[in-house]
């Protein structure tokens, strides 16, 4: 069914792409083409060098800057079809730089954390099952578009053993005011070890519209996810010995025994989101600039459903039944109404807002333990009030956002303030303050399972209190650097037996990150380094002290008229030993353990190339694995991937 859907989606995708006005160019008698035709071919992504070619006719006023991406915060980006090292770092299933993450052996599996970012936390609790959410597109991850012609992109990448990953989207403007887009992200990858199949799919659809007088604006999206993984529970003790010994009889990793033979977890999710606003009048004041008033509304409804199935296994303790069928759901609804004032009297934009949030966290039924009862559901609501302010004063950009829950079944508040100083092109400096009080995620508070030890209802847990101060310096000429100090009270975690706990000590976390690229002629050394220190609370929050990634590569245009751009080199990544968290597939969470992991090198050799608007990626991953020792792990019991050949492409075949 999935393959049939993908076939029709890509067919529709292609037909839409070729729906633009095309002009066939015929070569004149005697051969050759005119200067004007040559210029058309240079700008044509469908030109392949024959005498008769299809060329897109564009208005002379159309410019590459007209192809825009609109983010959740309504910042505008340009669709980028160039080849850079940043594109290499993002050429993965997440389409993100995973410097602070340690991937498991199969793509589509989870990631272990090498670093944390607490500056963008929300005071609204999440479902939990954080290990399943790396490829879950949240509201902030959805992008909207504004394009003068139909635009598309296809990403394809080979799987680890069998299968592949694809990420495709198409967007177009029916008129300058109305845009819509469709996107599909799919993965099926077998993996080298037993019972490690990944099978994912998510579909996104967006629309945006504004009236010609720009008074009314509306945008929204629909997102649907299915993230399914077989879970093998890691290698058995005997298999660990065989793996680390480098026994040649077991280089076929499918011969190694694993702890679980039929475990599987699935996260399904659907979301309907819409936001609209209306500028209902303008007031001319004594200042030359007018005061704009705008009223708006944001609505979001989301359902998430998590399942874990397995034949009962003694490694997870006693069970109520021989067949485990855990089922967790969360339904949330959020309604926000706001009033914007854009005026020189407030030095920018001031928004007053109120939000009504409701939730329903539920299971299959009620569980009666010896001394407590786990309710089949908990539900409630929260009404919050807040304001945010954005202003620009000369070279300074200032912002502040404050919200607090005034009534409801949960408590929480947040304050986020930032100030940025930016010169014309040399550098920018940003200082950011975050102060948040929030309820722990729902799976810390309320959980049910057919396994006896995985049942709890922690109504006595306190709010986590997160305070963070960050400083960021950006400069293409000098260096990119950031530093943050975070203090967390009541830090919530899973202990060594996967039970939720709250720290009785304040966690203090320092993080410093630096990036600098050094170029000499055609060669570049790209360096990213991160230092971390847990001054207090290291028993609860654990990170490596040092993480580095260094890439030495050669970059040059090849052949006559420079039709091909080549980047080739080696990437080295390393993180120091630390008490790496272990993975619990039933909870889809990581928990504490006390053995040291890390301290091993990872070398990847790559060859990347660009021909017109197509980028090709070829990579040999962990090329030194056969002679640096078999001590490379993504988590305890879960080895990192062996030497692997990967390849794929990103193709903007219509833009």
* DSSP notation for 442-478: HHHHEE--SBTTS-EE-TTPPPEEEEEEEEEEE-SSS
Separation of alpha carbons 497 and 507, rounded Å = 21
pLDDT score of 291: 76
Helix, strand, coil percentages, rounded to 5, for the chain: 10, 55, 35
Separation of alpha carbons 499 and 126, rounded Å = 18
pLDDT score of 13: 40
- Total-model pTM: 0.87
pLDDT tens profile 561-613: 899 999 999 999 999 999 999 999 999 999 999 999 999 999 999 999 999 88
pLDDT score of 655: 64
What's the 3-state SS for 82-148?
CCCHHHHHCCCCCCCCCCCEEECCCCCCCEEECCCCCCCCCCCCCCCCHHHCCCCCCHHHCCEEECC
pLDDT score of 32: 43
Q: How confident is residue 172, by pLDDT bands cut at 50, 70 and 90? A: very high
pLDDT at 423 over 90: no
Q: Which residue has the tokens 């399943």?
A: 132
Highest mean pLDDT among 13-22, 65-74, 371-380: 65-74
Contacts of 144 (CB under 8 A, 6+ apart): 69, 70, 71, 179, 181, 206, 208, 219, 221
pLDDT tens profile 20-53: 333 333 334 444 444 444 443 444 433 434 444 4
Separation of alpha carbons 318 and 98, rounded Å = 37
Q: Rounded to an integer, what is the distance from CA 201 to the centroid of its chain?
A: 15
Helix (H, G, I), strand (E, B) or coil at 392: strand
Separation of alpha carbons 83 and 104, rounded Å = 27
Q: Which residues pair with 421 in a beta bridge?
A: 396, 429
pLDDT tens profile 212-243: 988 999 999 999 999 999 999 999 999 999 99
Domains and CATH numbers, the chain: 2-21+57-654 (2.40.170.20)
Structure tokens at 222: 């629909």
- Among the listed residues 402, 305, 410, the one whose alpha carbon sits nearest the alpha carbon of residue 356: 410
Q: Which residues pair with 422 in a beta bridge?
A: 428
Separation of alpha carbons 414 and 466, rounded Å = 9
Segment 382-389 shows an average pLDDT of 96
**Within 10 Å of residue 38's Cβ, how many Cβ atoms?**
11
pLDDT, averaged across the chain: 88
Percentage of residues in the chain having pLDDT higher than 90 = 77
Structure tokens at 80: 């980028």
pLDDT score of 41: 42
């Amino acid at each position: 069914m999935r393959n049939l859907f993908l076939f029709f989606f890509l067919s529709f995708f292609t037909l839409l792409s070729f729906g633009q006005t095309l002009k066939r160019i015929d070569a004149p008698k005697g051969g050759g083409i005119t200067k004007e035709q040559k210029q058309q071919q240079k700008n044509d992504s469908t030109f392949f060098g024959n005498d008769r070619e299809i060329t897109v006719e564009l208005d002379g006023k159309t410019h590459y800057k007209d192809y825009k991406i609109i983010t959740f915060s309504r910042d505008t980006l340009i669709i980028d079809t160039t080849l850079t090292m940043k594109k290499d770092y993002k050429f993965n299933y997440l389409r993100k730089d995973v410097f602070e993450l340690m991937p498991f052996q199969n793509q589509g599996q989870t990631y272990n954390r090498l670093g944390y970012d607490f500056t963008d936390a929300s005071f609204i609790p999440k479902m939990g099952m954080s290990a399943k959410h790396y490829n879950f597109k949240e509201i902030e991850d959805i992008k909207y578009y504004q394009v003068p012609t139909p635009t598309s992109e296809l990403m394809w990448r080979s799987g680890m053993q069998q299968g592949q990953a694809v990420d495709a989207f198409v967007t177009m403007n029916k008129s300058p005011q109305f845009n819509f887009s469709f996107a599909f992200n799919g993965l099926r990858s077998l993996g080298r070890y037993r019972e490690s199949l990944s099978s994912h799919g998510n579909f996104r659809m967006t629309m945006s519209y504004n009236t010609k007088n720009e008074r009314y604006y509306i945008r929204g999206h629909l997102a649907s996810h299915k993230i399914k993984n077989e879970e093998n529970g890691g290698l058995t003790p005997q298999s660990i010995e065989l793996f680390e010994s480098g026994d040649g009889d077991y280089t076929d990793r499918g011969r190694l025994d694993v702890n679980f033979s039929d475990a599987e977890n699935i996260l399904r999710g659907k979301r309907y989101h819409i936001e609209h606003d209306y500028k209902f009048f303008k007031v001319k004041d004594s200042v030359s600039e007018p005061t704009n008033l705008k009223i708006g509304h944001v609505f979001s409804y989301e359902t998430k459903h998590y399942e874990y199935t397995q034949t009962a296994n003694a490694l997870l303790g006693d069970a109520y039944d021989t067949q485990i069928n855990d089922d967790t759901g969360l339904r949330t609804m959020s309604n926000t109404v706001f009033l914007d004032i854009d005026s020189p009297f407030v030095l920018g934009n001031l928004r007053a807002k109120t939000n009504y949030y409701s939730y329903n966290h539920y299971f299959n039924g009620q569980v009666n333990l010896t001394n407590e009862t786990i309710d089949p559901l908990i539900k409630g609501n929260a009404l919050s009030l807040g304001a945010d302010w954005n202003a620009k004063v000369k070279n300074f950009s200032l912002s502040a956002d404050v919200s607090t829950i005034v009534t409801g079944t949960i408590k929480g508040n947040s304050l986020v303030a930032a100030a940025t100083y930016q010169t014309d092109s040399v550098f920018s400096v940003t200082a950011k303050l975050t102060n948040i009080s929030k309820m722990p995620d729902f799976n810390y508070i309320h959980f049910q399972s057919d396994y006896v030890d995985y049942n709890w209802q922690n109504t006595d847990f306190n709010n986590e209190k997160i305070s963070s101060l960050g400083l960021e310096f950006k400069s293409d000429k000098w260096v990119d650097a950031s530093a943050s100090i975070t203090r967390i009270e009541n830090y919530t975690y899973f202990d060594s037996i996967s039970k939720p706990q709250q720290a009785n000590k304040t966690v203090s976390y320092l993080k410093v990150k630096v990036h600098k690229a050094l170029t000499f002629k055609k060669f570049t050394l790209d360096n990213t380094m991160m230092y971390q220190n847990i001054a207090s609370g290291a028993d609860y929050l654990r990170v490596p002290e040092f993480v580095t990634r260094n890439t030495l590569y050669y970059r040059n245009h090849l052949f006559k008229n420079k039709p091909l751009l080549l980047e080739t080199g080696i990437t080295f990544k390393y993180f120091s030993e630390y008490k790496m968290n272990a993975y619990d597939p039933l909870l889809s969470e990581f928990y504490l353990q006390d053995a040291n992991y890390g301290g091993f090198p990872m070398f990847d050799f790559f060859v990347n190339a660009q021909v017109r608007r197509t980028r090709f990626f070829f990579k040999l991953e962990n090329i030194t694995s056969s002679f640096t020792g078999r001590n490379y792990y993504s988590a305890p019991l879960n080895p990192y991937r062996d030497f692997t050949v990967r390849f794929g492409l990103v193709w903007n075949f219509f833009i």
